[in-house]
Amino acid sequence: MARVAVVTGGTRGIGAAISKALKAAGYKVAANYAGNDEAAQKFKAETGINVYKWDVSSFDACAAGLKQVEADLGPIEVLINNAGITRDATLHRMKPEQWTQVINTNLGSLFNMCRNVIEGMRERKFGRIVNISSINGQKGQIGQCNYSAAKAGEIGFTKALAQESARAGITVNAIAPGYINTEMVQAVPKDVLEKSILPLIPIGRLGEPEEIARCVVFLASDDAGLITGSTLTANGGQYFT
């Protein structure tokens, strides 16, 4: 029987690529999204992947959303925590809501999602959790104290939960992408991209969402059973850990 995989932020950008790659690998996929109904319905029509709308920063919303996924598709065995937002500002100009929105969505969502699936995974003695962190959680970034803190927190969360869950047959890993060719990066002015970003990437190009998706498919597979508590760095050589 096909395993059920949930991908948060799963209808656009890296998340959409992950959802499609998991479906191609034989999983039954549920793609979560926050608010863009038009994009989500277009994604569903194009891919045939079920989409579910809820706010990952809300524990109760996650509980209800995941309950519906399990009613529709079956027990959740794979969880990809990909949803994230940015509210960039230097700290001396950052408003409290810019901090809390990013922390609650990017980091709080890991608790909200994992807490609601971990007991079932422990009972079944199998689970795969992959958290999508960021290069900026590893090295920091000007104007992103909130985002960098959240993404660094994801890595710490990953290591702790991996230790708690290993004997229950659950692996927990993180992926830290660098600059990926998504809508967000495409919005960067071309001259900034060519003069300030690409020269920092040794391979000389942006990553593609599908490259991150392939990393996820591997970590979600039986073949990756020995790997847990790890952070897979996928940034074209821009930053080494």
Average of per-residue pLDDT across 175-180: 97
The stretch 114-119 carries a mean pLDDT of: 98
CB atoms within 10 A of CB 213: 24
Which helix (H) or strand (E) segment holds residue 162: the answer is helix 145-165
Q: In terms of residues, how long is the chain?
A: 241
Q: How far apart are CA 208 and CA 185, in angstroms?
A: 11
Catalytic residue among 27, 33, 52, 147: 147
Told to judge if 33 belongs to the known catalytic residues of this protein, a careful annotator would answer no
Work out the mean pLDDT of the chain and round it to a whole number. 97
pTM of the model: 0.97
Contact 61, 54 (CB under 8 A): yes
25-52 per-position pLDDT tens digit: 999 999 999 999 999 999 999 999 999 9
Kindly state the percentage of the chain with pLDDT values over 70.
100
- How far apart CA 232 and CA 241 sit, in angstroms, is 10
Question: Would you state the structure tokens that stand for residue 93, as one six-digit string?
Answer: 């100009």
The mean pLDDT of 73-81, rounded to a whole number, is 98
* Exposure letters 115-130 (e unless 16+ CB within 10 A, then b): ebbbeebbeeebbbbb
Residues 6+ apart with CB under 8 A from 155: 131, 133, 137, 138, 174, 176, 231
Residue 83 pLDDT > 90, yes or no?
yes
